[in-house]
Structure 1
Amino acid sequence: MGYRSADLHQVIPNGDVMFMKQNLKAVRMLLISCLLLIVGLAATDNDRDFNMCGKWLHGIAPRNLEYDLKTGCERIEISANEITLSIQGRITAKCTQSSSIQLDSNPHQNQSHFCVFWEPLLDLLIVEVNGKNHTLCKPNGLQGTCCTDLYQGVQENAHMYGIVNGSVKGDVITGDLKRNYTFDGAQINCKEKFCDEASLKPRGANMIEEVVMRSNAKGRVDLPCAQGTVIEMNEEFTGHNFTVPAPRFVDANTIPSVYIPSSLKSVSRSRSIVVYIYYKNKTLFEIGSSDGALDEIVGLSVEDETIENLPEPVRIRFHHSALPSTLQCVSWDTRKDSVEKWRSEGCETVIINANKIECRCHHFAYITAQVVRATVRHQKALTIVTSAGCALSLVSCLVLFFWPYKRKGEKDPSLLVHRGLAVATFFLSLCLSYISRLANAENETVCKITGALLHYSLLSTLCWMTVEMFHIFSFIYCKFNSELFQWVFYLAGFGIPALLVGKLLCIGDIYGLRNIGNEDITSQYFMCWMLNSDRSRLAHYIINIGLFAVATSSGAVMLFLVAIKIHTRPEWRKNRMAFLSIWGLICLFGTTLGLGLFNFGPLSETMLFLFCIITSCQGFFHMLRYYILERTKKMCGLSSDEAVQC
């Protein structure tokens, strides 16, 4: 049960109430100060290797900071008198400095708080006096052998001026007034010690990244646990392609290569630092080794910037041994992600060959390739189904091409359309029968050419199907003689696809090795086809989906007009089933192509099998359709064109 303020005045005299309020306020301030001190000491302990602090009791005269630093590993002495705070000794690796700095003075102030920070790995020495930093030794790269593990030596007492309440990393040495504090050092391998400490930290990779960023190093950076490169971007930066020199006992041909695009350069900054770190061991990351990631991990970061949504991706090429499973590019931003997980968002996987993979990422993070467990059974089944269907289609297209020659002396304008469609389907089946084999070839150029040829034959087949529909429509509805415009059919069937594919080849980054499957799949299928990139998706929606929409909509309109025109003829009742069968097969062809075109993203297993089966049997369906036309011709006793009208 508590008391209100009015109740306190009733039970406690006014003077005592005021005294209690002042004491409560003092207690609150003391608690806040202690909390800030604890937080500050904790932060300092995490950031600095050596941290000695104290209160400097001095006079009211102008004061200065004197220092005399030399290389070696003997001791550092921190002393103070009435006007001077002095730092001197031999603890540096490369820094040799001796000078005096005039400090800000206040005639009414006779004491100052100071701290001495020493980071031997960076050869960095900073003295802070009343909150203002004075850098005595600047970072000079990452030091190998250095002076660290400073331990307390001799102290001398003082009477009026000196250092009181000296402490190391928050632990008070003594509260007595001392003239000086001496700390002896030990020479060790700083890089090995740093890597050992980083391996024990929850985010050890972040520690390495930050210390390399602060080291003021340029070019190659070597650590026992990681190798890196530091690049400076200026206003004339146009992109950079590099490979980190191979560490000891590592094959140079297996080191990842990196391309950094020019779009990384910030417009608002004239100079930026890019740090690339190559990790050969996953132990620096909290994720266990059972996640399936490669041992090679690449870390990319930019000084004081978060890099996301790059218009041109960063390209990282990994080399790996042949695997029974497939790989997928993943990334992990340990500074942002609270959940420790490799993610595929923002990275595109491009399979170069069986031993090489390229990750194209639009952000900076830790990037690697992760093994995706795949069931070979589905890949073999798909290969067998596609090969059998393509073999059937190839034979059917040859039969369809040479079949009309059996009728000599009969002029049949529709033969041009049938043969054009047969040729386009023949090349489509031929490309489909080889894409799975060429996808495993160690040649990126061959896969690009094969993907372009497959796209060309697919567009050509779709164009010739459109020509076929227009040909039937012209005879039935318009009484149009197509012999006069045969060159237009060739241009539409073979010329337009060649123009479109040629333009895409000039643009680039459209064709290559494509992985068709879900991210969490149990089955994957590789083919030389259009890549899953922004340019490829745009080309797919404009060309593939656009052309398919035009062919389907125009075919539906022509079918509707023809049905209206001939449904009143006497022949309609007799031959409507043959007519609908012909147009039904055309719709089946369109459905087959639509199954593949509209499922440009990941395909399910069922959809993938249907697509492979029906598409690979296109030639057989065309031969079946031509057989129906021939049967219709015999039933009516007319020529081919008249049979269509019948």
Structure 2
Amino acid sequence: MWLTEFERPSQSTGGDPKPRLLTEKLRKLLPMEPRLRDNLRVVFVLIIFSAGSSEHDLDWKFCGTWRHGKGSLMLNINLTTGCSEISVSANNSSLSIDGQITAQCRRSDRIPLGKFGLEEETPFCLYWEPILDQLKLQLNQKEEVGGENLTLCWPARMQRSCCTDLSYGANADEARYGIKDGMVKADPMSDKIMTAYSFKGDPIDCKTLCVQESQGSSQVNMASRAQHPCPHSSEVEMKEDFRGQNVTAPTTRGVSAESTVTVYLPPALKTAAKLRSKVICTFFKNNSLFQNGHKEDRVLDNVVEITVENEVIVNLPDPIRIGFHHGKMHLRRCVSWDTRKDPSQVNWLEDGCKTEQKGPKYTECLCNHLTYFTVLVQMEPRPVRHLLALTAITSLGCAVSVISCVALIIYLCRKRRSKEQSIPIHLGLAVSLAFLNLLFFLTGILANVGGESVCPWVGAGLHYALLSSFTWMGIEVFHTFWLVYMVFIPPPKPYVWNLVGFVLPALPIIILAAVGDIYGVRKVVPSDDVSNPYLMCWMKENHEALLAHYFTTMTILAVLVSSGVVMLFLVYREIRTREEWRQSRVAFLSIWGLSCLFGTTWGLTFLDFGPLSDFVLFLSCILNSFQGFFLMLRFYMLDWIRKQAGGSALGSTSTGSTRQHMLQSQEKS
């Protein structure tokens, strides 16, 4: 194993093939005892590597898979200052990290890992940043379980001595439980299950590492500087006549001046700092160290720490102003790192900070306490343009549709005596649309009044009403197909349609509600005022709710629209030769009414992209929110036309073929 590792070209030497060639020559020149020969190879290659590399590691990453038993798991941490070694060990119930590699961090702790005990294996990665004195553990990247980022040693001020160049120590024993597939960065170490891995470190002046990354000229060094920049600290002495001061982060080579950070320290800070008069501002440029593990948002590149040594300062009457210059962004908010509850958890909170967005490329944070500060950029959902206008159209359309559906229900109930086969189906669609539009009209009000206590129920009801409406539209498609192509077989009884239209959509809702954390308050962010989102009761913005949305709503909608378009074409082909089709108003109402019945207008949802996105969005909003009104108008207009023509505007039902008769009956109803 050792020879295999050292024969591989080293990343620090730029992939130099000389060690491999020399090792091959050594194999031919040393016909001696195998174990002694292997040891000489290792020593020889180590000499070559140590002589050929003058760069030091700016970071260290160890990954593996923890093989454990099912049940309660623990993370054991025992870290002290120094630079001797770090050991990563594991058994059937605990993962342990011990050693002396930190400059300032001291920690001895036991952390329960409850949710990871459901599986027998847990992937993990351990990251070490010597410049920042930060050790971070990432557990489990599987989506179905959910990962967790633990900061074992959090960033501190610039220290003098850094512990770096961690090298693999002595071999550990193989076992049933432990760490398998261990690897450092991209280099595999062993595919066996080992009880422990140990790594020895070397102390070095931290300034040497910063000089190394600031003076590197190769592409490898350029990438390294972008990923592991040194923090910069600025000290401000608050004298008796302190009237406030601006502190600006120093710009480094290759970094745009537009990405700087400016901190304004108010005079109130002097009054609040009773014991000390020196403020330290530390500027970080490595957001990977401060990520909170959620894909919905990410931390801005710049992070600033503001401290007064050994003092906790909160509730400043005059807030600290931190200005962040960045690229063009829409959804962003100022946050601070709450280290009071659990310093190991990266926990960004908005408490104590106010966000002022002064343009798409500049954000100012007004905070009344001292800690780490940054801007959290929300990746999803995208901001919605013209949200106020779309909301007004939707509210008006839903209100009109509710009234129209009620009128249509009364109209269809009176026509049930005609015993037309389509009446119960039209009635079911009208009821489901009335329920859908009513809930959608009230969802904003209920979200603001009831919040999380009401929205899970309203969101589930809104989802049920939507699926029920789609199901009834699908029944309209299927029933039309039955009348046209299966004329000699009577269609199912009305109670069958009721079971399919009202009961079947409830099954996925019950399952999702049992899973939990699917329905709740949903924020729809307007592009013109991202700090004032529109609240509604719907599915949440987590991964589980997104999967539920695609597997239920979007799947049913895709099937409905595709089948509706096909059936609309087939019906058009059958009725376009009829005498009354030549009347433009009958033709328009026929196609328009069938489009509403078959749900084809919902197909505009899939066209919300490109330069016509705004137009498609408004058109979809108008057609679908007023759908109940259009359906009522269609039925009333066709009935009025039929009466004006003496009952034959759509053709007589007493003559012609059986297929013609079914088509005419369907079009009448």
TM-score by length of 1: 0.45
